[in-house]
Chain A
Amino acid sequence: MNYSKPIPEITLLTEPFWEGLRSKELRMQACSQCSVLRFIPKEVCPDCSSVDYVWQQVSGLGMVYSYTTIHGGVGPAFRDDLPFVTVIVELDEGPRVMSHLINCLPDAVEIGMRVSVVFEDATEELTLYKFEPHDAGR
C-alpha cells in the first residue's frame, strides 16, 4: 500500500493503542487507581498521579467538540485532500481526540454533532481512526 502521509512514531507507551486499531478497537489508558480514562497516552494519570493503568476499549462514539475546514497552508501530503475537516471529538467516555471528519460535507459540520469512529487501513501495519456522522453508515 502506498501511503504518503505522516506515519506515527510508535513507542513502547503507545504501541497498545496502534495494536488496538489493527483489531478495529479504539483503546485508551484507564487509570488503575481512579479509573479515569486519558488520551493522548501518558505515563501518569493527570487526575491522581498513579502510574498504573490498563488499556481499555472505548465506544468510539462522541460529539464534535470543535472543528475547522482546512483550505490551505498544508504540506504536500495533504494538498490533494483540500478542503478537509479536522475535528476534535469529545468521546462519550470523556477524552478528546483529534482526527479527520469524513463522509460529511464541510458545511454540515457543527459543534455537538454526534460522530462515531471509522477505521481505515493506511498500510499493512497501520490502521487509522477517523470519524463520521453517527448516522452516516445507516
Chain B
Amino acid sequence: MSDLRRAAIVGIYMTEQGKLSDRTAGSVYAESVLGALADAGLGVKDIDGIIGTGPEGAGIAGDFSDNFGVTLRFQAQTGVGASSSSSGIGIAAMAIERGYADVVIIPTASGGAIRPGSGTGGGPTPSSFEHIWGSNPAAVYAMAARRHMYEYGTTPAQLAEVAVAARKHATLNPASVMGERGLISVEDVLESRMIADPLHLYDCCLVNAGGGAIVMTTMERAQDLRTTPIVLMGWGEGFTFHDIMTAPSMTSFGGVVAATTAFAHAGISRDDIDVAGISDHFSINVLIELEDAGFCGKGEGGDFIAGGAIQLGGRLPVNTDGGFLSNSHGGGCGLYTVVELVRQLRGEAGERQVENCNLAYAHGTGGTFQGQYAAIFGRR
C-alpha cells in the first residue's frame, strides 16, 4: 500500500458531556457529525462511509442518508458495548486503504433519558445463566478484581490509584464531567460507598450522556485539510469468551492477542509509547489491560501503576482526559479515548499535554472484557 493511501484521523469532536436531559440523542448525533467534519474542514457531501452505531441503536447508513442527504458506499455496524464506535477504526482504515470508501465518519451519541449502556448500539448480552442472579457489569468486574487479588496480591489501594489518576486528569480537562469536583485521594476512593466488593463507587465509571465523532480519510487527502493527520499505525482485536463462566481466565482476556497484533503491525515496542488510553469502566480494567497489553508482566499491574506512574508526568500517562471514571461514559465512550489521544498527538491537549508526544496506544474494552481492540496512532 502506498503511503498516500494510508488511513488517518483528520477530524475529531466531542459534544458537551453530562445529563443532556433536554437533548435528543439525534441532536447530539448531528452535532457530533457536523463538529468532526468542521474540525477536519470537510463537508457532509464528502462522507461516503459510516461505521459504528446510530442514535439509540438505529440502523446507521440509511439513517445517516435520511438526515444528511448523502449517498454512502460503505457501512459497518459494530456492537461491542462501549467500544462499539472506536472498534470501527480498524474497519474504517481497511475500507479507506482498499478504496471502498474515501471519507469515513464514526459517530456516537446518547442523550435525553439516560440508561446505562444506552447509545452503545448493543453489546454482549448476558445469558439467562447470569441474568437470573441479578448480575451486572460491576459484579463481573468485581469478581475479576477479586480473582486478580487472589492470584497476584493486588490491593484495593492499588486499584484506587487508577481512579485518583483519572480524577487528576479530569481536573485539567475543562470539558470533563467530574473535573470541577476536584482531586481525590486513595483514601477517598477506599472510603467511598462499596458497590460490588472490592469495587467502591469511585472505582466505577460515570453514567452520563454525550456524543462525539471521528473522521478518517487517506493521507493523500489529509494533505489538503486543516488538521495534523494522525495515522493508524497498528490495529488488533481479541476475543476469548462471551460468558464470564466460560472465560479461560478471569484475569487475562483478548487484550493479549489484540495488543500483540497491533504492536507487530506497527513495528514499535511498548517503551516507544508516550501516552495511552485504556477503557476504564472500572479501575480493575486499566490494571488488567496494562498487563495484557504487555506494558508490564502479568500480575505486576498493581506495582506498575503505584506512585503516580499512570498520571501526567509519570512513566506512562493513561487516560489523560479523565477516562470513563471522571471524564465521560456517555454513548460509545471508547471513542473519547481516541479523541483524547488525537488531541495529545496534535499537541492540542492544553494543560494536560504530554510533552514530545509522538506515539499513542488505545486499548478498548466492550461488555465485560469480551470485546477488545488495540490501536497504535502516530504523527506523520
A residues contacting B by CB (< 8 A) are 5-10, 14, 38-40, 46, 65-75, 77-78, 81, 86, 88, 95-100, 106, 111, 128
Please determine whether B250 and A68 come into contact, CB atoms closer than 8 angstroms.
no
Interface CB pairs A-B, < 8 A, 14 = A6-B128, A6-B131, A7-B132, A38-B246, A46-B246, A65-B147, A66-B143, A67-B146, A71-B197, A72-B194, A74-B134, A81-B134, A86-B135, A98-B130
Residues from chain B with Cβ under 8 Å of A77 in the complex: 134
Please determine whether A65 and B139 come into contact, CB atoms closer than 8 angstroms.
no
Residues from chain B with Cβ under 8 Å of A10 in the complex: 128
Please determine whether A66 and B146 come into contact, CB atoms closer than 8 angstroms.
yes
Contacting residue for A65 out of B194, B204, B250, CB 8 A: B250
With A6-B128, A38-B246, A81-B134 given, can you name 14 additional A-B contacts, CB distance below 8 Å? Answer: A9-B128, A10-B128, A40-B129, A40-B243, A66-B250, A70-B134, A70-B195, A73-B204, A97-B245, A98-B245, A106-B197, A111-B147, A111-B150, A128-B132
B281, chain A: closest CB distance, angstroms:
13
Please determine whether A70 and B243 come into contact, CB atoms closer than 8 angstroms.
no
Given known pairs A65-B250, A71-B195, A71-B197, the reply for A88 and B131 (CB within 8 Å) is no
A60, chain B: closest CB distance, angstroms:
16
B residues contacting A by CB (< 8 A) are 127-136, 138-139, 142-144, 146-147, 150, 193-199, 204, 243-246, 250
> What 3 A-B pairs come out closest when comparing CB atoms?
A68-B142, A8-B128, A78-B134
Contacting residue for A71 out of B130, B194, B246, CB 8 A: B194
B126, chain A: closest CB distance, angstroms:
9
Please determine whether A96 and B132 come into contact, CB atoms closer than 8 angstroms.
no
Q: Which residue of A lies closest to B142 (CB)?
A: A68
B284, chain A: closest CB distance, angstroms:
11
Please determine whether B197 and A69 come into contact, CB atoms closer than 8 angstroms.
yes
Residues from chain B with Cβ under 8 Å of A75 in the complex: 134
Q: Which residue of B lies closest to A89 (CB)?
A: B245
Please determine whether A73 and B136 come into contact, CB atoms closer than 8 angstroms.
yes
A101 to B131, CA, bound (A): 16
Given known pairs A40-B245, A96-B246, the reply for A69 and B196 (CB within 8 Å) is yes
Please determine whether A71 and B196 come into contact, CB atoms closer than 8 angstroms.
yes
Please determine whether A39 and B245 come into contact, CB atoms closer than 8 angstroms.
yes
A70 to B146, CA, bound (A): 13
Please determine whether A68 and B244 come into contact, CB atoms closer than 8 angstroms.
no
B32, chain A: closest CB distance, angstroms:
29
B370, chain A: closest CB distance, angstroms:
14
